[in-house]
Amino acid sequence: MTHVRIYEVGPRDGLQNEKAVIAVDDKVALIKALVDAGLKDIEVGSFVSPKWVPQMADTDRVMAALDYTNDVNYATLVPNVKGWEGFVQASANLPRNAGEIAVFIAASEGFSKANLNCTVEESLSRLAPVVEAAQSAGVPVRGYVSCITDCPFDGPTPPEAVVRAVEGLRRLAPMPVSLGDTIGAGTPETVTRVIKAVAETMPISDVAGHFHDTGGRALDNVQASLELGVRVFDAAVGGLGGCPYAPGAPGNVATEAVVERVEALGYSTGLDHAALARAGVMARKLRG
């Protein structure tokens, strides 16, 4: 049976959007429940500006409280050198490498400005020293490209802009790239078009699909991506989420729903459904 890897982003992409402060212990308990469900890649926070995203300001404390006796990749988002320094400091006393860092850019200028306060080109220049430092330190790097089909500010995104963004990231290092339908406006047609274009410039095995469910089409977009050979999907337990800088971006597609759809299509995920459901209950309780 072909394996599909679920990359859990709930503790970061999900919780970053919550207004009320969530206790470190609650975040850690949710992450533990996700580990118990069998997830091997869990995005646990970000080293971004606490003025921009206050909810993630405790990422160092979350990392310090995690269980490192397993083989889980606890990933974190890093937007610039200052974020890299935060990651290095937070990792210094851990029993082993926490996991990979994720660097993120947009395919559209409007979202780049709103999310990172710079142009796409500037964001790539800021990331160059981050990727270089991570490579020297042996820390794996994942890339994100946002707004792969539509931007809340600029409208439809041309596939060529996504290809340019992917190539920009992969010039820094040959990293895997998660393609984000940040506002959930994509359809199987627009998603297929952009993935086909990206697959001409990088191996499909390094492409992940990251779908938000605003339009109720995330699962169909997962299915369309599967048909093109994508085997990694980002998802958030309990459908937590959204992006604070993307108006109209509510939840990420729910991990439980992605698991159900891909398994119904004959793929395996290796996840424990009952344990995942328990994590979903915890996630929904954390939501304001």
Kindly list the residues in this chain that would bind ligand HMG in the complex (CB under 6 A). Answer: 13, 16, 46-50, 52-53, 77, 79-80, 82-83, 86, 104, 115-117, 144, 146, 180, 182, 210, 243, 245
Residue closest to ligand HMG, measured at CB = 180
| Binding partner of residue 117 among Mg ion, ligand HMG, none, CB cut-off 5 to 8 Å per kind | ligand HMG
45's tokens: 């926070």
Residues in contact with Mg ion by CB under 5 A are 13
Nearer to ligand HMG, 52 or 153 (CB): 52
Task: Please classify residue 107 by burial: count the beta carbons closer than 10 Å to its beta carbon, then call 0-12 exposed, 13-18 middle and 19+ buried.
Answer: buried
- Provide the minimum distance between the beta carbon of 129 and ligand HMG in the complex, in angstroms, as a whole number: 13
Q: Which does 144 bind (CB under 5 to 8 A by kind): ligand HMG, Mg ion, none?
A: ligand HMG
Comparing every residue's Cβ against Mg ion, the nearest one is 13
Question: Which residues, 6 or more positions from 122, have their beta carbon under 8 angstroms from its beta carbon?
Answer: none
Residue 157 interacts with which of ligand HMG, Mg ion, none, CB < 5 to 8 Å by class: none
Contacts of 45 (CB under 8 A, 6+ apart): 11, 12, 27, 56, 58, 59, 62, 63, 76, 77
CA 81, CA 78: separation in Å to the nearest integer?
Answer: 8
Query: 118, 147, 151, 243: which is the annotated catalytic residue?
Result: 243
CB of 26 to ligand HMG, least distance (A): 20
As a whole number of angstroms, the distance between CA 179 and CA 4 comes to: 16
The DSSP secondary structure of 223-269, one letter per residue, reads HHHHHTT--EEEEBGGG----TTSTT--PBPBHHHHHHHHHHTT-B-
Residue 61: how many other CB atoms lie within 10 Å: 15
- Select 53 or 207, whichever has its Cβ closest to ligand HMG: 53
Contact of residue 48 among ligand HMG, Mg ion, none (CB under 5-8 Å per partner type) = ligand HMG
- Minimal distance in Å, beta carbon 243 to ligand HMG? 4
127: partner contacted, choices Mg ion, ligand HMG, none (Cβ within 5-8 A by kind): none
Confirm if 47 and 67 have CB atoms less than 8 A apart.
Answer: no
- Verify whether residue 243 is a known catalytic residue: yes
Question: Cβ of residue 24: shortest distance to ligand HMG, in angstroms?
Answer: 18
Shortest Å distance, C-beta 237 to ligand HMG: 15
With vertex at residue 253, the alpha carbon angle to CA 212 and CA 28, rounded to the nearest 5 degrees, is 110
Residue whose CB is less far from ligand HMG, 192 or 277: 192
Which stretches within the chain are classed as H helix? 24-36, 59-64, 81-91, 109-116, 120-137, 159-172, 188-199, 218-227, 255-264, 273-286
- When the beta carbons of 119 and 272 are compared against ligand HMG, the nearer one is 119
CB nearer ligand HMG, residue 123 or residue 269: 123
Q: Name the residues annotated as catalytic.
A: 243
